[in-house]
Amino acid sequence: MHLIRRNRILRQSPAIRAMVAETILRPSDFIAPLFIIEGAGVKEEISSMQGYYRMSIDLTVQEVKELWGLGIRSVLLFIKCKDELKDNAGTEALNPDGLMQRSIKAIKNACPDMVVMTDVALDPFSTYGHDGIVEGNEIVNDATVEVLAQMSISHARAGADFVAPSDMMDGRIAAIREALESKGLSKTGIMAYSAKYASCFYGPFRDALDSAPGFGDKKTYQMDYANRIEAIKEVLMDVEEGADIVMVKPAMAYLDIIREVRDRVDVPVSAYHVSGEYAMIKAAAQMGWLDENKAILESLTAIRRAGASLIATYFAKDAARMVVG
Ligand code: PBG
């Protein structure tokens, strides 16, 4: 055979493959989610997320320093609220001395350059486990948005660099931007969970924070996974309303959405490689059915290749070690 084009030439050695690789992972691509609980010296493994922990503030701070040392540049904070502090108004979410606010301060104190992002939604604080205020069977939009705006101010005042509204209420990005501006918090950014689908892959996360919805599901605010055009509508509106970074969530089953969003916006796109995606890899690896490290790198590279420049992932630390090592 005398072939004119031989594609295998570019695949024949690790050196050539490295030269022509189109997608490269860096530790600063990863956002490390952290689950924080009250107490001191407390580290609890999450049963459905083996190898992942809820930690008290002191241990979280140590973890953040370690992440920084590995080249990770941002963390996304979630707190587990005590049951007795939960209500239907998000009261504890606004407490200036609440666990979230104390966590932000402690992290910024210990590691000032780490970019601290905070989850903004009511579910960890809600007796109903819903992302908003409940009236009857309804998760009411406008009253919820007011609380989310106040919550964002509170996080920004505590030192958060970005607030990350994960609630999917309408109009919250504009309301949050406006609220931040009204208090002179003009440096605080917004990473919007813009195309967040109602997904079964959040199951383990809800175990982590004990935040599963008490009634119904989240389908009246999170998106239907059958929809693609709607994701573009959500993302474009969030950008118009002031989102600095938009997000698609989950990641692996939504690579088409990530790509399409990437092609349509002029802001950074992030993707959330969620708890259920973590759990699947962990479980299969534990059974000896998958090579864990290879599965991690392939998954994260695919998400990056689809168009996400940032990936929130529970594998942030493992991946950071692998991509520099
Ligand atoms: C809450 C929130 C959820 C996640 C991030 N923020 C759960 C939900 O919407 O029910 C999921 C993260 C994960 O599964 O890793 N607003």
Q: What is the pLDDT of residue 257?
A: 98
pLDDT of 211 reads: 86
Give the 3-state secondary structure percentages of the chain, helix then strand then coil, rounded to 5: 45, 20, 35
**Cα–Cα distance, 222 to 204 (Å, whole number):** 17
Per the residue annotation, which of 108, 249, 282, 317 is the catalytic one? 249
Active site residue 196: yes
**Catalytic residue at 82?**
no
Which pLDDT score, from 0 to 100, does residue 233 have? 98
Please tell me the number of Cα atoms within 13 Å of 309 on its side-chain side. Answer: 11
* Summary mean pLDDT of the chain: 97
Q: What is the b/e burial string over 206-225, where b = at least 16 CB atoms within 10 angstroms of the residue's CB? A: bbbbebebeeeebeebbbeb
In ligand 1, the atom with minimum distance to the C-alpha of 203 is 14
Over residues 155-178, the pLDDT tens digits come to: 999 999 999 999 999 999 999 999
**Rounded Cα gap, residues 167 and 222, in angstroms:** 8
- The confidence score (pLDDT) of residue 302 equals 98
Secondary structure of 12-49 as H, E, C letters: CCHHHHHHHCCCCCCHHHEEEEEEEECCCCCEEEECCE
pLDDT on residue 252 = 98
Instruction: State percent of the chain over pLDDT 70.
Output: 100
Best residue among 119, 163, 166 to mutate for probing ligand 1, ranked by most atoms within 8 Å of CB = 166
Specify the higher pLDDT residue, 230 or 211. Answer: 230
User: 96 falls in which pLDDT band (50, 70, 90)?
Assistant: very high
Given a cut of 90, is residue 182 above it in pLDDT? yes
23-218+226-324, what's its fold?
TIM Barrel (3.20.20)
Query: Which residues have C-beta within 8 Å of that of residue 163, sequence separation ≥ 6?
Result: 117, 118, 120, 151, 152, 155, 156, 176, 180, 188, 189, 190, 191
- Active-site choice (86, 196, 218, 282): 196
191 alpha carbon – ligand 1 mean position (Å): 14
247: CA distance to ligand 1 center in Å?
A: 13
Residue 203, phi then psi, degrees to nearest 5: -50, -55
Domain positions in the chain: 23-218+226-324
Q: Is the CB of 119 within 6 Å of ligand 1?
A: yes
- Is the predicted pLDDT of residue 261 greater than 90, yes or no? yes
Burial class (CB in 10 A: 0-12, 13-18, 19+), 51: middle
Task: State residue 210's pLDDT score.
Answer: 85
**Which tens digit of pLDDT belongs to each residue from 278-297?**
999 999 999 999 999 999 99
Residue 76 in contact with residue 118, Cβ under 8 Å? yes
State the closest ligand 1 atom to the C-alpha of 201, by its place in the atom list counted from 1. 14
Residue 119 φ/ψ, nearest 5 degrees: -70, 130
Q: Is 5 helix (H, G, I), strand (E, B) or coil?
A: coil
Average pLDDT over residues 77-100: 97
Q: Is the pLDDT of residue 325 over 90?
A: no
Q: What is the pLDDT of residue 324?
A: 84
Q: Which atom of ligand 1 is closest in space to residue 273's alpha carbon? A: 15
pLDDT range class, residue 180, cuts 50, 70, 90 = very high
pLDDT surpassing 80 at residue 71: yes
- pLDDT grade, residue 194 (50/70/90)? very high
Q: What is the mean pLDDT of residues 109-133?
A: 97
| Residue 204 CA to ligand 1 centre (angstroms) | 9
Residue 26: what pLDDT?
98
Span 203-215, mean pLDDT? 90
